[in-house]
């Protein structure tokens, strides 16, 4: 059974890992230096991200580098876009309502 992408990115450590490897591919040891947890804990987070196809592994000699899977991140962004449009529309409506209320208050004085 595949893990759910949104459960994977709900964890703050995994989001931090994604942010780090978005800048450059990194090994588990290099990633572990950024956290107050063990390399094994970081490896577990990486495993979850790999299972969700958010991160891919690349072997370079004896080292394994993890890098962000950009296409999967684009899929998440496309899914979120539908909600972004709704939020922007509602914020615009709220902004319009607040301006109307402010104008009415000014006219009442």
Give the model's confidence band at 12: pLDDT under 50 very low, under 70 low, under 90 confident, else very high: very high
- The matching CATH number, chosen from 3.40.50.2000, 1.10.10.10, 2.60.40.420, 3.90.1300.10, for 5-68 is 1.10.10.10
Is the pTM above the cut of 0.75? no
User: How does pLDDT run across 44-72, given as a tens digit for each residue?
Assistant: 999 999 999 999 999 999 999 999 998 88
Burial of 38 from C-beta contacts in 10 A (0-12 / 13-18 / 19+): exposed
pLDDT (0 to 100) of residue 43: 95
Write down how long the chain is: 109
CB 68 within 8 A of CB 52: no
Does residue 75 carry a pLDDT above 90? no
User: How does pLDDT run across 14-37, given as a tens digit for each residue?
Assistant: 999 999 999 999 999 999 999 998
């Amino acid at each position: 059974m595949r893990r759910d992408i949104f459960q994977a990115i709900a964890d703050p450590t995994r989001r931090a890992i994604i942010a780090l490897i978005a800048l450059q591919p990194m090994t588990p040891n290099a990633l572990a230096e950024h956290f107050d947890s063990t390399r094994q804990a970081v490896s577990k987070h990486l495993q979850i991200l790999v299972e969700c196809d958010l991160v891919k592994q690349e072997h370079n000699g004896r080292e394994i580098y993890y890098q962000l899977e950009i296409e999967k991140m684009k899929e998440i962004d496309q899914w979120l876009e539908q909600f972004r449009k709704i939020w922007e529309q509602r914020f615009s409506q709220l902004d319009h309502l607040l301006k109307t209320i402010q104008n009415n208050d000014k006219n009442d004085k």
